[in-house]
A = this chain, B = another copy of it.
Amino acid sequence: MLNVDIRHDFPAIRLNIRFEAPEGITVLLGRSGSGKTSVINAVAGILRPREGKISLGERVLQDSARGAWLPPRERNLGYVFQESRLFPHLSVRDNLLYGARRRGLGIPAEFQELLQLLDIAQLVDRRPAGLSGGERQRVAIGRAMLAQPRMLLMDEPMAALDEARKAELLPYIERLSKGRNVPVLYVTHNIAEAARLADTIVVIDGGQVAASGPAGDILADPEVAPVLGVRAAGAIVQGRVVQVHGDGLTEVAVDGGRLYLPGCDAAPGESIRLRVEAQDVMIALERPVGVSALNILPVTVSAVKSGQGPGSLIQLANGGMRLLARVTKRSEAALGLRVGLPCYAVLKSVSVAREGLHRVGGDRPG
């Protein structure tokens, strides 16, 4: 459990950040320049905020009221910096093992596995100078992980990586977080990545926490959407696989009904997380006929957020499930959308983006 409550002034921006990150993966989301790196630096002990308190479980990392301050080296965190910061005079191997050696550990058991996973086995004898951007970033990820940290801080670690690599690495990070109980503080501006990984999401805007809480709640919050960019708005839906049909469609039970997903390789009984982008949800007052009859859920309007542009965001709920829908203001008026209105959410099974598909509690090798 990480507790952050800090205030700090930069010439151009004032940071005032307070959030709690329970176990698991906490994603800091926010636009460029909003203060994400500054927060993670404060947790790492690299930025010493003017005032505030940071604690990780029982350990107080900083408490300006009591003058307490733990230097970075004693915080035992693994930090993947936004700009890699490899040691230029050390080989890739020595970079990777730097933390383990400083902490007096031998070569960690997962060294070889991680080399494979990061596809850097062929680089170990080289020095950082000639590495490509992505290679540097992969080595930096490995370096932080091999330090056997108590907590992992990752500042846009995947920004330079291709989808294939990313797809292999994300499950590894999940395993680390859930399997080994290493909490992760993860900065990204990619909402799909956040939806994929996050247990908790903290949205930062202009140096302030715009919202924070469980990933599902935050992503379905229409108030948060404008901060992240309306384009990227979408909700996370928890479901359980009921059956895999012969035609390849997977039937998933969610609050309010059943969804049918193509190309999902989950087994019956498994819990999965689905991401439904707001732009993929239509609202109908009557159960539509003749359109895709597969994924239609009865819902109630639970929140309405009219933006400055031509669009509105409508939150739709059924039990614990929440969806976001993006509609035009004209539609909003035409349909008379208001909180409490019962209606139907129309979504295509395939609107469940692949990247947002996520096994909860799964622990297979990546």
* Interface positions of A (Cβ within 8 A of B): 10-12, 30-33, 36-37, 82-83, 119, 122-123, 126, 130, 132-135, 137-138, 155-156, 159-165, 167, 189-191, 228-229, 231-232, 247-248, 262-263, 277, 279-280, 282, 290-294, 326-328, 331, 347-351, 354
Q: How far is the CB of A8 from chain B (nearest CB, A)?
A: 13
Min CB distance A237 to B, Å, is: 15
Main secondary structure of the interface of A (DSSP, over half): mixed
Residues of B contacting A291 in the complex (Cβ-Cβ under 8 angstroms): 292-294
Q: Are B130 and A10 in contact (CB under 8 A)?
A: yes
Given the complex, which residues of B lie within 8 Å of A327, measured CB to CB? 248
A262 to B280, CA, bound (A): 7
* Contact between chains at B189 and A134 (CB < 8 Å): yes
Question: Contact: B32 with A282, CB < 8 Å?
Answer: no
What are the nearest 9 A-B pairs in CB distance?
A32-B134, A164-B229, A292-B292, A348-B348, A162-B189, A159-B159, A82-B133, A348-B350, A280-B350
Q: In the assembled complex, which residues on chain B have CB atoms less than 8 Å from the CB atom of A11? A: 126, 130
A280 to chain B, nearest CB (A): 4
> Least Cβ distance of A194 to chain B in Å?
11
User: Measured between alpha carbons, how far is A206 from B302 in the docked complex, in Å?
Assistant: 51
Known: A32-B119, A82-B133, A167-B231. 13 other contacts (CB 8 A): A31-B162, A32-B132, A32-B135, A32-B137, A32-B138, A32-B161, A32-B165, A33-B134, A133-B156, A162-B228, A163-B190, A262-B280, A263-B326
Known: A262-B282, A263-B326, A326-B263. A37 touches B132 (CB 8 A): yes
